[in-house]
Structure 1
Amino acid sequence: MAARRAYTTHPLVLRRVTVRRVHDVTPRMRRIVLCGDQLGAFTRDGIEHPAFAAPGFDDHVKLILASDGDVRAALPAQLPHGIEWTPAENRLTRDYTPRRVDPAAGEFDLDFVTHGDGPAAAWARAAREGDELWFVGPKSSLRLPARPDWILLAGDETALPAIGRFLDERPVDAPAHILVTVADDTARQKLALREGDTIRWVLAEPGDATALEAAVRALPLPAGDGYAWAAAESRALLPVRRYLGRECGLPKERLNITGYWHREEPAAPTGAEDPAATGEHARVPSPVPWLVVRASLRLGLLDAVADTPGLPLDALATRLDVPAPNLGVLLGPLAAHGVVVGDHDGLRLGPAGEELLDDHARDEYAGHEAELLLSLAELAPALRGGGSPWQRASGATLHGTVAGDAERYGELVEECEQLVFLLNGLAADPLWAGVGTCLLTGPGSAAVVAALDDAGRRPRLRIAEDEVPAATLRTRVPAPERIDWTGGPADLAVAAKALAHRTDDEAEALLTRLASWAPTVVLVEASRPDGLSPHAAEASLHAYAATGSPLRDSTAIAALAHRTGWHVARLIPLGWGTEATVLHRT
């Protein structure tokens, strides 16, 4: 049986609200009460949208601001069932937690820490009745365990809205143990505590990782099956995550650690010359630190130091079965980049090392994404002679590799988990009318099953995959026992991210195979870069490394369809650069 999904998704809608009231909860926290017709169900540009829903205590809405004040130019495009983040150089976005939601009054509250220089804090300080604010979300709500024995809620001042809302609404009936670091005693708030709850306020500067970790360590965890939630500055949470997860042994499904903000690095001293401005010392960054971090993760060095802080180099070398002099060559680069601190007599993780304990952070260095980057060593010969860099580097296509490797295919499935936030448009489409049986293929199949469940659609499901991918998907889909795990006739086939790891020849072979099973096929693929991604400029290169083709836009996908006897009936935009292409047999 697959694990229960940890969140509930919501439709993504762009909404405009105005300020109804402003008051200061404390000298450091300002509450803005927002209202507007678009908090209810409404229609804009002929598209009907549901009422605003934010049922979770730590839900996030994404505020849309503008560096030049022109907010209208910064707004994303609203799709019938989603958001497309079109390019906008002036766009600034910040995530905030609704402190209170009152559908009957048509309003909700946002709390802002006003002692900061960020654009949202500046907006809050200047906010007056009638001012407008645009936002999107929330995209999902956290599902808590049904009956935890206790819950820990920890964080800094930015976590207070979520903590306060939890205590007001009590989504689970369990004793709550509260820990909050504040920069000043005036930041303390009156919270709705019950008998059995505890609370501890700790004075600390914003982003002080040492103070937050020490306070969490000093808090005795009760017996039983608990749940820990923490929110604060991202780096300050890294040692907290390590302590609760590694040392206390809380499983992932009972641990939610979220970076609410990022501390900015200090600016260069006045008078310092900017190499990028002069061009004198500007250069492309060296790959050496990346390769050293990759080697350290593959050897298990960072995990060993995390598990035993202060470990001498000789003991570390023995544990890793690597000669100490050889291991020593890594220490200089690791120390220079803050991955480790200390010396041969005792090593500890530095801030960058703590960050690499997070599974998503290390994927860049040691997972499928890293292997794809390494294949770019063959980029020049691939560009000149054809074929994908992956195939030239490994001797097999990426599809051929992942089809026999459960771990690699599992990484593709994890990457596709975000699809569930985009598939509302597909699940709501009229094409499902009369569909009794649906055939699924591709690593995004689990996300499609979840989206159909959320939409209340219950066609008979088949999944057509090779043996290893099918076994991997069995562990990820809800209720796998209801699915027929063999290919066969269906009214509709959905290939979810099935082309993204296939060459053109392999993609054509799949489309030809699907033609024997279904009269209509839907291809769910990214057809352009995600406008919010900091790596948008590299999207086409990553696609080329995997398949030997640039990121396939709608024209390229239509060409593949035409060559295999399909024609494009229409496109369903899903958002974030992703489209569903509906194909019919010619």
Structure 2
Amino acid sequence: MGHGWEGVVLKLFRGRDFTFTVTGAEQVTDRFRRVHVTDGGLLAATGGAHPTMWVRLWFEKDGKPHQRAYTLVDPDPEAGTFSLEFALHEGPACDWAKETKAGDTIDATLQGTGFTLPDPAPKRLFVIGDPAALPAINSLLDAIPQTPATIWFESSDEDDRKLPFRLDEAHHTLHHVERREGGAHLVAEVKAALPGLLGDDHSDAYVWVACDTSTTRTLSAYLRKELGLPKDRVNALGYWRP
């Protein structure tokens, strides 16, 4: 399968293509699936992985190429392996995740990923996300495990409380927030709590946001314009379109 016009554009932006081979899969919950792959040389080519690193996977939809981004989970540069996690819903990506088996292959393009923790490192971390962002959230918590973190996690199903959060009770506080009003309820919850948690001096804090595009845009504007956080202390990326 070719990659169509999107593939051409990614090539123009120096996207690099790889082919991953599936080695196995596991059903984490009814709504969450993990697929294990060999990396096709990706980690050797990049010199390893950074926190929240993601790749674009290629699927077929209505006979046309269709790409979606997924975070690398537990990358092992020496072994050349990692896993991919899927919050299951309708669509070609999740159909593939549910059906794939050892020996299957999937094309991927590396382009656009990039993340560096701020320097100096934050002494407090605030994270706002949902099931689609959970692999990246876990990656971020793994990168700075001793940093106190408050997480607001939006979901629409009670079973999402069973998802594989990598939490340390001594350092991490998780708030489950029901998805209501297209994300407006999450925004309200964050606005009610975050100013008090930040306090008057937020120079040692870092806020990471990855929700749907609309919610992410709203929260990003709030953090920068109303709370006055500098750009280098906020990372906001919409993970899906509502």
* TM surpasses 0.5: yes
Q: Which runs of 5+ in 2 are unaligned?
A: 1-13
Q: How does 1:199-348 map to 2 (within 5 A)?
A: 199-204=174-179, 208-220=182-194, 221-223=197-199, 224-225=202-203, 226-263=205-242
Q: Which residue of 1 aligns with 2:21?
A: 18
8 Å CA contact 2:43, 2:49 repeated in 1: no
Structure 2 counterpart SS, 1:152? strand
Question: Does the C-alpha gap of structure 1 residues 253 and 28 become closer, same or farther in structure 2, counting only changes over 3 Å?
Answer: same
Aligned length: 222
Q: 2: distance between equivalents of 1:104 and 1:54?
A: 9
Q: Which runs of 5+ in 1 are unaligned?
A: 1-10, 42-49, 70-89, 264-586
Amino acid at match of 2:37: L
Q: Which residue of 2 aligns with 1:177?
A: 150
Tell me which protein shows more strand as a share of its residues: 2
Q: Which residue of 1 aligns with 2:99?
A: 126
Structure 1 counterpart SS, 2:98? helix
Q: Which residue of 1 aligns with 2:57?
A: 63
**Structure 1 residue 181: deviation in Å?**
0.6
Amino acid at match of 2:167: A
8 Å CA contact 2:21, 2:40 repeated in 1: no
Q: Which residue of 2 aligns with 1:533?
A: none
Amino acid at match of 1:251: P
- TM-score normalised per structure 2: 0.82
Per-residue CA deviation, residues 318-361 of structure 1 (Å, 9 max, x unaligned), is xxxxxxxxxxxxxxxxxxxxxxxxxxxxxxxxxxxxxxxxxxxx
> Between Structure 1 and Structure 2, whose CA radius of gyration is higher?
1
Structure 1 counterpart SS, 2:93? helix
Q: Which residue of 2 aligns with 1:35?
A: 38
Q: Does 1:98 align with 2:72?
A: yes
Question: Does the C-alpha gap of structure 1 residues 118 and 185 become closer, same or farther in structure 2, counting only changes over 3 Å?
Answer: same
8 Å CA contact 2:146, 2:171 repeated in 1: no
**Structure 1 residue 106: deviation in Å?**
2.1
Per-residue CA deviation, residues 489-516 of structure 1 (Å, 9 max, x unaligned), is xxxxxxxxxxxxxxxxxxxxxxxxxxxx
Tell me which protein shows more helix as a share of its residues: 1
Question: Does the C-alpha gap of structure 1 residues 193 and 257 become closer, same or farther in structure 2, counting only changes over 3 Å?
Answer: same
Q: Which residue of 2 aligns with 1:165?
A: 139
Amino acid at match of 1:153: V
Q: Which residue of 2 aligns with 1:191?
A: 166
Q: 2: distance between equivalents of 1:36 and 1:209?
A: 35
**Structure 1 residue 31: deviation in Å?**
0.7
Structure 1 counterpart SS, 2:211? strand
Q: How does 1:106-145 map to 2 (within 5 A)?
A: 106-114=80-88, 116-145=89-118
Q: 2: distance between equivalents of 1:65 and 1:253?
A: 34
Per-residue CA deviation, residues 448-483 of structure 1 (Å, 9 max, x unaligned), is xxxxxxxxxxxxxxxxxxxxxxxxxxxxxxxxxxxx
Amino acid at match of 2:176: W
Structure 2 counterpart SS, 1:243? helix
- TM-score normalised per structure 1: 0.36
Per-residue CA deviation, residues 2-42 of structure 1 (Å, 9 max, x unaligned), is xxxxxxxxx7421111111111222211111111543465x
Q: Does 1:149 align with 2:123?
A: yes
Q: How does 1:470-549 map to 2 (within 5 A)?
A: none
Question: Does the C-alpha gap of structure 1 residues 37 and 235 become closer, same or farther in structure 2, counting only changes over 3 Å?
Answer: closer
RCO higher in structure (CA 8 A, sep ≥6): 2
Structure 1 counterpart SS, 2:152? strand
Structure 2 counterpart SS, 1:151? strand
**Structure 1 residue 194: deviation in Å?**
5.0
Percent of pairs with identical residues:
31
**Structure 1 residue 163: deviation in Å?**
0.6
**Structure 1 residue 251: deviation in Å?**
1.2
**Structure 1 residue 138: deviation in Å?**
4.7
